[in-house]
Amino acid sequence: MTELSKLSAPERAALTQQLEQRYNAFKAQGLKLDMTRGKPSSEQLDLASKLTVVLAENDYKGSDGSDGRNYGGLDGLPEMKAIFADLLGAPAAQVVVGGASSLTLMHDTVVRALLHGVPGSSAPWGRGPVKFICPAPGYDRHFAICEHHGIEMLTVGLNDDGPDMAEVERLVASDPAIKGMWCVPKYSNPTGTTYSESVVKRLAAMKTAAPDFRLLWDNAYAVHDLYAEGDKLANVLTACAEAGNADRALVFASTSKISFAGAGVAALASSPANIADVKRHSSIQTIGPDKLNQLRHVRFFKDYAGVLQHMTRHAELLRPKFEAVTEAFAKDLDGKGVASWTKPRGGYFISLDTLDGCASEVVRLADSAGVKLTAAGATFPRGKDPRDRNIRIAPSMPPLGQVKIAMEIVAVCVLLASLKKLGA
Ligand SMILES: Cc1ncc(COP(=O)(O)O)c(C=O)c1O
């Protein structure tokens, strides 16, 4: 394989002509392939179809005797809390089960802090300027929460073992306006990165100028391993407690990509002080969550082992799609010196880096050939990738055959955009 930059001008021109033929042949097929959405496929959703019928007519009571059809049970049914306790890595007493969306829990956590502060705050966060550390590439909806509520975002790089800790430590040590940091610590969206134990410990122990600094620990992909041997993530709540910062982390997850997206169950776990604070606020917000949905989930999964078992079936459906992406890229792009991509062992995304300044062009070319990709820049705060090189690939939703064609087209687009950039 020759790096494209080492080819002579006539060699590049010939290669461009060849690739344009391939590209035009794809274009002529009038394809309509959508690789933008990090949603479960309908085959994955079918795995949990019994959830809709699992409750018998007289099956509405929780193990505490509460009637799932009525108000109450603010922090969740005991058996649902027990499942999330294992999933989130906290005692059940430190778990609050919410509605269907972890993003809602995160959003509300931020808004409450802006309006009321958190345990340890001397004033509501919103009284002064508020800044969040945003490892990038990252999850666009985290950044949207900040943007929507006027929180300044400080981008830090995401390395193979997690955020650039030297930079994070430098920033939080000196600026008391830095109140929070977004973290997707396992199979991060979109790179698939899992934070190392050393990174987790440094985040837990680092000195922050703000006494009420919080890690918003979005463990959305806690059990979403693609292979039998999954990545191991250190327990952030334990690490924070051991470092003397017990209140630092708020841990979120949901069953959106375990049972049904948008019709699952979400939960958060944290220190006793934070959990008391969450309950104080949520008792104003609601008279109780949907306990029948919790009961359905408990009957279907039974326990945490049941959740893990179920996830092996998701992995069987997802693994070939992930491998199709990396194989297509390897076939056309390996050794060309124009792109690198992640090979995650779990989660929902693969992250593709092109040459600087090429991502928007790749997305445009792919679109013209019938392949919709997530907008270039979406993985960075304010939708602006300073190097215009990152593209998020979401292979879960389309059928395997479509993933294969779409990725071959994307690889051809990467080559064409790179040749243009190199001045072919
Ligand atoms: C990192 C991350 N967090 C949260 C969510 C959404 O979670 P929920 O459906 O529980 O709101 C997603 C969905 O793509 C995600 O990628």
Q: What is the DSSP string of 61-103?
A: B-TTS-BTTSS--TT--HHHHHHHHHHHTS-GGGEEE-SS-HH
Q: Is the pLDDT of residue 417 over 80?
A: yes
Segments in 263-303 forming alpha helices (H): 272-285, 291-301
Q: For residue 226, which amino acid is it?
A: L
Separation of CA 122 and ligand 1 centre (Å):
31
Q: Which atom of ligand 1 is nearest to the CA of 100?
A: 10
Q: Provide the CA 136 distance to its chain's centre, in angstroms.
A: 12
Token pair for residue 49? Answer: 């179809």
Q: Residue 183: helix, strand or coil by DSSP?
A: strand
Average pLDDT, the chain: 97
For the stretch 316-358, pLDDT in tens is 999 999 999 999 999 999 999 999 999 999 999 999 999 999 9
Q: How confident is the model at residue 424 (pLDDT cuts 50, 70, 90)?
A: low
Q: How confident is the model at residue 2 (pLDDT cuts 50, 70, 90)?
A: confident
Q: Is the CB of 185 under 6 A from ligand 1?
A: no
C-alpha to C-alpha distance for 269 and 200, rounded to whole angstroms: 16
Q: Is the CB of 184 under 6 A from ligand 1?
A: yes
Q: Is the CB of 379 under 6 A from ligand 1?
A: no
Please tell me what DSSP assigns to residue 67.
B
Q: How confident is the model at residue 1 (pLDDT cuts 50, 70, 90)?
A: low
pTM over 0.75? The answer is yes
Q: Residue 225: helix, strand or coil by DSSP?
A: strand
**Sign of CA pseudo-dihedral 28, 30, 36, 39:** negative
- Residues ≥6 apart with Cβ < 8 Å to 59: 295, 299
Q: What pLDDT, on the 0 to 100 scale, is given for residue 406?
A: 97
| Cis before 91? omega within 30 | no
- Residues ≥6 apart with Cβ < 8 Å to 327: none
Q: Is the pLDDT of residue 112 over 90?
A: yes
- Residues ≥6 apart with Cβ < 8 Å to 44: 257, 314, 317, 318, 396
Q: Is the CB of 103 under 6 A from ligand 1?
A: yes
Q: Is the pLDDT of residue 402 over 90?
A: yes
Average pLDDT over residues 39-60: 95
C-alpha distance from residue 280 to each of 118, 240, 314 (Å): 11, 23, 37
Q: Is the pLDDT of residue 363 over 80?
A: yes
Q: How confident is the model at residue 313 (pLDDT cuts 50, 70, 90)?
A: very high
For the stretch 236-248, pLDDT in tens is 999 999 999 999 9
Atom 16 in ligand 1: residue holding the nearest Cα: 189
Average pLDDT over residues 254-271: 98
Token pair for residue 356? Answer: 């600087």
